Amino acid sequence: MRLLYIITKLIVFPGAYLRGFWEQLTCRLLKLMVEPGGYIRLDEACGHVEHSLAEKQFAAYLMATGPGFMNFNMGMAFFLFGYINIFTLGVTRFDSIPLYICSLVALYIGVSLLCCLFPLTEDILRFWDIAYGGYAKKKRVAGRALDGVGKVLGFPFAAITRLGAFLEKNCVIFILWAAFLVWRFLSL
């Protein structure tokens, strides 16, 4: 699984690289320690940076969702541009080679960004632990603890991120995207 994970991250290297960048930027903003070592590496942290875990509630939330949020926004823009041109407006290589190539590249970059949305399981588990576990009390974490309403409102996002992190770690998201694109190209 580790090898498959690394291979998938190498295939979607633009998304992995930018994901790593956003993580490092978030760490910098939150003053978390980051081990230098690049964003594309041949281990489980491929597409991420090695960093210390956040202590505060908001910091943990931002580490879990911030980089993914950036990748999602940019990924959707690239993906929609490529998808609409190729699959909806039906641009082919016989219409305009530059536009077709641009659309293919945008589609690839978009999907690569969308394949790298979720944090490492450590990051989301840390947030989960602070928000829903006993970590906040034990460590007297700074910031107001989530009250009942906050816990309920935040639960879907936390749960989706936790599930997404698990799926991404096991390459399921990459496989789903690959299958979707193969199906769309075959149905052209």
Partner 1 sequence: MIKETFDPHASDDDNESITLEKGEETESAAAVGEEPAEEALEEGLCPRCKKRKVAKKHDYCYRCEDELRRTKIPLTGIICAVLAIAVSIICVVIVALDLAPAISVVKGDMYAIQNNWFAAHSAYAEVQTSATEVQNALATNKVGLFLGSLTNPGYGVKSKIYNTVMHIYDPLRAYQNSAYAFGESPDERYLKTDKNYQLCEKYYNRFQDTYLAVQEPVDLMQGMEKPDKSEGEKLFKLLEESRGAEKVDDVFLDYFIYTAATYFDLGEEKIFECFDQMKKDAEASEDDYTWLYYKDYADELLRYGHGEEAATYYQKLADRDISAYDPVRGLMNAKLLAGDVDGADKLVDAFCRENLINGENSDSNYSLLINMARVKGDFEEALDLIEEAQSKYASVPEYYRQKCLIYLAQENYDQAFEAAALCEQNAYYIASYYGDATYYTSDILMSTVYIATSLCDKYGKKDTENAQYISEILEDYKTLNIRQEFRDIVSGKTKVTDYLREGVCDFI
| Interface residue list for partner 1 (CB under 8 A) | 17-18, 20-22, 24-25, 27-28, 31-36, 38-39, 44-45, 50-53, 55, 73-74, 77-78, 80-81, 84-92, 94-96, 99, 106, 109, 120-122, 125-126, 128-129, 133, 135, 188
Q: Are 78 and 107 in contact (CB under 8 A)?
A: yes
Describe the crossing of helices 13-30 and 97-114 by its angle, rounded to 10 degrees: 50
Residue 100 Cβ vs partner 1, minimum distance, rounded to whole Å: 8
Nearer to partner 1, 149 or 188 (CB): 188
| Exposure b/e, 107-138, CB count within 10 A at least 16 = b | bbbbbbbbbbbbbbeebbbbbbbbbeeebbee
Residue 125 Cβ vs partner 1, minimum distance, rounded to whole Å: 3
What is the C-alpha to C-alpha distance for residues 47 and 40, in angstroms, rounded to an integer?
A: 5
Residue 144 Cβ vs partner 1, minimum distance, rounded to whole Å: 19
Residue 163 Cβ vs partner 1, minimum distance, rounded to whole Å: 16
